[in-house]
Each structure stands twice: as C-alpha cells, then as structure tokens.
Amino acid sequence: PVVHTRFVWPHGGKRVFLSGSFTRWSEHLPMSPVEGCPTVFQAICSLPPGIYQYKFNVDGQWRHDEGQPTITGEYGVVNTLYLTREFDHINTVLSPTTPGSRMDVDNDSFQRMGSLSDGALQEGSPRISESAIQISRCRVAEYLNAHTGYDLLPDSGKVIALDINLPVKQSFHILHEQGIPVAPLWDSFRGQFVGLLSPLDFILILRELETHGSNLTEEQLETHTISAWKEAKRQTYGRNDGQLRSNQHLVHATPYESLRGIAMKILETGISTVPIIYSSSTDGSFPQLLHLASLSGILKCKYLASL
C-alpha cells in the first residue's frame, strides 16, 4: 500500500524542489505554490510506509525546514518523515536503533518518536504541523477577502425587525415565539435601523426587577417601550449602544463588504451581531435588512465549509 503524502516548504522562494531518500537523492521534484499562499510550496508523493529523509532546494540552495524534525548524516542536516500505513507523520524521526543507522538524531525530535508496529503509530495521533496551519490560514484569509456579505445570505429565511415604540415585554415575547435571539430595531420616524435588542437587554431587565428599589416594575414592562429602556440603560450602565442617539450610527455592514471586513467590524467593536443592510440611495434612506451576521455564521459559510 502507498500513502499520499504532502511535503510543504513554507518559507518562500522563486523555485523550490524536493529531493530525498525516496528519489535516491538524484531526482529533484518541482514544488508548486499553494493557491492564495505564494510563499508556501507543496508537492504530493505516493510513498509506501517507512522512514524517509528529505531536503529542499530553494533557488539553488539546499535547505531544511527547521520547524520539522531533523537528523544529521551523509547529506548534512535533513528533515525526516516517519510514515505508517494509517497516515503520514512528519513530526517523528528515525530511531537510532534502526539497523544500519549511523546518524546523530535531534534529541527533541527523538522524544516525539513513536514505533512502527503492524502499520500503527504507538504514540497517538499526530499534531498538526506549523506549515499546515499556515496553509489553512492563507486559504481562510483568501476566502474572507474574496467573498462578500451576499455569500452569507441563506437561500430562504426571514429577518425580523422590531419597532422601537413596541413595549419591551411584547418584544421579548416576539423573540421567543420566533426562536431568534437578536432583532434589529427600527425607528419609523427617522426611517433607519437604530440598534439591536439582544439577550443582554433581557438579562439587565431581570437584574433591574430583582434589584431592591428598582424604578422598573413588572407591570411597567407592559407599556415601557424599547426606546425608553435603551435610554434608561444608557444612563444607568453608561452604555450608548452606538445606536439610539441621533448623533450616532448603528454598526452595520453592506452586502458588498468582504467577509473579512465584516469579521473585523465584529471583533473591533466587541459586538456579537452585525446587521447586513442594503440601500440603493447614497444617503442610506429606505434601507433593506438582509441578514444578521455573526462570527459563527461567517465560519459556517458554505464557502469556508468547503475548505
């Protein structure tokens, strides 16, 4: 049996070749840049289980990857590959007790070595190499930059908005009945989306009701509007929400923004959800609410899921 094994050189270069004991050190296999990661090169080889040594020829210079296990022998410092029938494991090295071995083994790498028995690696599952992590980061970054808020829109579904003049209690009943945790707030007078009603509001209201001497009673929730609650919340907790005050704007995204830009808005503002809003007018009038974006939603995007 053979194992399809990926060799990775993550340190850049113009022309990179791979050579090793599996090519008898005589053949130089060309390595190709990873799509979206021009500094990362890879080559796929089909190898039978065994122990291999290899090096990289980068722009005419022989080099080894210091981030991978190494040994010192006839060809100087080389990387090692310990391959089983189950999987390739580029983080283990040649055992010094292997017959015919006359090489000095890197001690740190040797401590991570397993033993080959019936094709199974005894030390457990392999850890992910730094080069594999770098490739994944490059691919994720490429997708986040190449795709936009439109790619987050579901094929079908609904987005519910609440008028700021609705009573708070009725609003939370609507959220519960619809099975949604967050809803944008609509100010019909201004003709704009001005904020979000979230579980944090519900938690703070419960705290208000349980607090001795609270000015907010359960009965008042029947008529207490969202706008009144948001203003009271701002005065009590010092939270602007960046929304209901006329001199501030709701943090939102457009469907034309990249997924990276939307993710950065969420991270930089410390909020959990960003409404995706479209308006054909330059002044933002007549906005259309398309979706509510979150980091978890971006990570579950059908494009990222295909990586």
Length of the chain: 307
Q: Are 31 and 59 in contact (CB under 8 A)?
A: no
Give me the long-range contacts of 168-174 (CB less than 8 A, separation at least 24): 168/201, 168/205, 168/221, 168/224, 168/225, 168/226, 168/229, 169/221, 169/222, 169/224, 171/197, 171/226, 172/197, 172/202
The whole-angstrom separation of Cα 82 and Cα 70 is: 11
Q: Does residue 248 fall inside a structural domain?
A: yes
- Cα distances (Å, whole numbers) of residue 86 to 5, 89, 121: 11, 9, 8
79 and 159 share one domain: no
Same domain (yes/no): 183, 78:
no
Question: Is residue 13, in this structure, part of any structural domain at all?
Answer: yes
3-state secondary structure of 277: strand
- The pLDDT value recorded for residue 95 is 33
Q: Any idea what the CATH number is for the domain that residue 26 is in? A: 2.60.40.10
pLDDT value at position 14? 94
3-class DSSP assignment, residue 134: helix
Last residue of a domain, one of 57, 83, 109: 83
Same domain, 296 and 166: yes
Is the same domain home to 78 and 172? Answer: no
154 and 77, same structural domain?
no
pLDDT on residue 134:
72
CATH code (residue 266): 3.10.580.10
Considering the domain boundaries, does residue 279 fall inside one? yes
**How far is it, in rounded angstroms, from Cα 243 to Cα 29?**
59
Burial class (CB in 10 A: 0-12, 13-18, 19+), 133: exposed
Q: What pLDDT is recorded for position 138?
A: 78
Determine contact, residues 225/166, Cβ cutoff 8 Å: yes
Asked if the structure places residue 94 within a domain, the reply is no
Domain boundary among the residues 83, 100, 117 is at: 83
Q: What is the pLDDT of residue 298?
A: 84
Same domain for 75 and 172?
Answer: no
* pTM score over 0.75: no
* Same domain as 197, residue 77: no
Q: Is 180 found in the same domain as 68?
A: no
DSSP-based three-state secondary structure for 130: helix
Q: Mark whether 184 and 50 lie in a shared domain.
A: no
Q: Are residues 37 and 163 in the same domain?
A: no
Counting the structural domains of the chain, the total is 2
- With respect to residue 97, please indicate whether it lies within any of the assigned structural domains: no
Residue 99 lies in a domain: no
Is residue 154 domain-shared with residue 68, that is, in the same domain?
no
* 92: nearest Cα among 64, 52, 55: 52
Cα dihedral sign, 72-74-76-82 = negative
Residue 138 lies in a domain: no
Amino acid at 271: I
Q: Domain end: 58, 83, 108, which one?
A: 83
> Is 145 within the bounds of a domain?
no
Instruction: State the residue range of the domain holding 38.
Output: 3-83
What pLDDT sits at residue 136? 76
Which pLDDT tens digits describe the chain residue by residue (307 residues)?
788 888 989 889 999 999 999 999 999 999 999 877 788 899 999 888 888 999 999 999 999 988 888 888 788 899 888 776 654 443 333 333 333 333 343 434 433 333 333 344 344 445 566 667 777 777 788 788 888 988 888 877 778 899 989 988 888 889 889 888 889 999 888 888 888 888 888 888 777 766 655 566 666 667 788 888 788 777 776 654 444 444 457 889 999 999 989 999 999 988 888 999 988 887 777 888 998 998 888 877 655 555 5
Question: Pick from 67, 43, 52, 56: which is nearest to 133 by CA?
Answer: 67
Do 67 and 207 fall into the same domain? Answer: no
CA dist 161 and 277 (Å) reads 12
